[in-house]
Structure 1
Amino acid sequence: MLSASDRRTASSRTSSSAEAPDPQRRALLAATLVALASAATGCGAPPPPVTKPEGKPEPPLAVPSLEALLPLAGLRWIVLANPREITSIPWLVPFVATVIPEARFDRFARGTAVDLRRTPEAIIASYTTSEGDALVELVRHVSDPRTVERAFRDRLSAGATRAVDRHDLVRVSGKIGRSPHAFAAIGADVACFQQAGSLARGPCRIATLFARGALARAARALDEPSLRALAERLGPAPARAFALGPFEGELARGARGLLAAATAIGAAARPSAREGILLSVAVAGDFSRTGEAASEELAAAWRDLAEGSFGHLLGLDAPVTAPLSTHAPDAVAFMVELDPRKLAKGLADATSSEIDQIMR
């Protein structure tokens, strides 16, 4: 199962290292591929519900955007994806199956009542909370919310509690093994899972408050100016990932030291017209005086990665088109088109064990 204590995973796409990433970085890469790490495993009986007094019927909860349910406070990194869009592109299907075989999708659906292949929107994010690091997943599903809740409850092993905030907002928490877990069914089609961290004040609890219209002044995940600017620069894509600075230690040395001055980093992957994978990477910061030099350093950092053993495994050293670098006062970026065959085979080899744990 993906650990919630990953601290040094945000710069895997722009790292200057020429070797394969450590297990923590492979875990984040696997999370990006799957776009959802289920926090529900274990067994147990459902607890008695905590009900609220009956009153005037409330209108159904509507959630226009999943990222609007996640807080900015404590955010380390976030991955946003549209699995259904990815699996609906005919020429992409064989490559998806190379990385995540159908049997794994089927097993995940049986255990969670959520079929990722039919999921239109999914998010996984890492947070620092008052009680340690937490991993939270949000998914817009097409299942019966009661069935999804029951699947989570059935996996709790101890300390199960259940609260009904309103008829379409239910919270469940407890332990799976020794680890605390939380779940929320929000409206008719949104589920939130949290592993570790503070259950009472963590991101899953805050998501339910946002859904009810509370905490109106609290900042949402992509409200941070650098993240918002990167999201606008990269544009919509089936898969996007962002990490928030400041970057310190080993991370600050990533991308030939560019991350030391960066406020955030983002990446987006989308299918190209030539049936390739178009990868865009952008680093946000103050580059008003150093934009051209920083852009050259970012391109050199990509070459370092591509020419290393990990880059060769993923086919980064043999792109469909050469990387194209750009720069602006507030960001440096590059775009490259990759061969999906080599990329899928390399990702399967590099992340097989991590994906297998995620898809249990």
Structure 2
Amino acid sequence: MYKILTINPGSTSTKVAVFEDEKMISSETIEHKSSELKKHENIMDQIGFRKEAILKFLDKNGLKINDIHSIAARGGILPPLKSGTYLVNEDMVHYLKFETKTEHASNLAAVIGYELSDNKIPVYVTDPVSVDEFCEEARISGIKELKRKSLLHALNMKIVARKASEEIGKEYNSCNFVIAHLGGGISVGAQKEGKMIDVNNANDEGPFSPERAGELPMGDLLKIIFSDLYNHKELKKRLIGHGGLVGYLGTNDLREAFKMAQKDEKAELVIEAMAYQIAKEIGAMTVVLNGEVDAIIITGGLANSEPFINLIKERVSKLGLIMVYPGSFEMEALALGAFRILNNSESPLNWSKEV
């Protein structure tokens, strides 16, 4: 029986778990004090205390790093790559530490895993956010200098697609799915025969979300950009972080928004508008698949809200079977990616910056 350590860092916490083959046997969300985080100017400066916290987690559960057969780390902000499970190597660690264009907590996972392994335990990443399986038409933006980019909640979207294919009794690589991951950011994608051929970039496109503005009227946005209302940093915060529900209602908590909606018609309208935009994006991705859809899959934290999901279902129920997988399955997805390598059902992919 294989023991797999999964590592999934967030901005203020590190999620860790140990799996025996496909079964989780222990897990913890390690919260990091803001006073500790403030000591470190850069994300990569946090390696030491996060690594120490993971070792303490293992010790609490009667384990040592030498008891682990593989480490499964969340993929960081890597260059575009195909879906799959990659063996972490020195090149990947160097890229995440010194070359990645975006500083993000997820960049820590593979680096910490690699250091913990001491070159004695294989370390893998599965389906990073930069998975790119776009069809060529999807890359065209409308301005020749700008290409549309594939950035998505790939880890969770891919595992729910696997779950759905098992549930409907059809081979994963034969299925066509529209998958909507609904969280702080929202990704809605068209997955054709195992490949995500189109998806909205959750930072720039698609529906507004609890924290992000989504697509905006470009002409009016240009007027704001060239006015003196905001500097670059302030405007970026309005788009990502203070957009969406936060901008309209002052909260990123959908439950709180529904409480507000009981007394405030404006709050009710904003919630309905978010569901409307999600449904519209689902419809668009159905068209990308020529209407040949095995299921519409809805997942992510917002999928825990039955009233909100019902607002979406009202608009898309005629487009196909709707399957709901509330919450996130990232830890399971990481462990299963490593397990498929360990049991030889898949071969690991080799990573280089040019992959």
- Tell me whether the two structures share a fold, i.e. TM-score over 0.5: no
> How does the TM-score come out when normalised to structure 1?
0.29
The structure with the greater share of residues assigned to helix is 2
TM, length-normalised to structure 2: 0.30
Name the structure, 1 or 2, with higher relative contact order (CA <8 Å, separation 6+).
1
Q: Normalized per residue, which structure has more strand?
A: 1
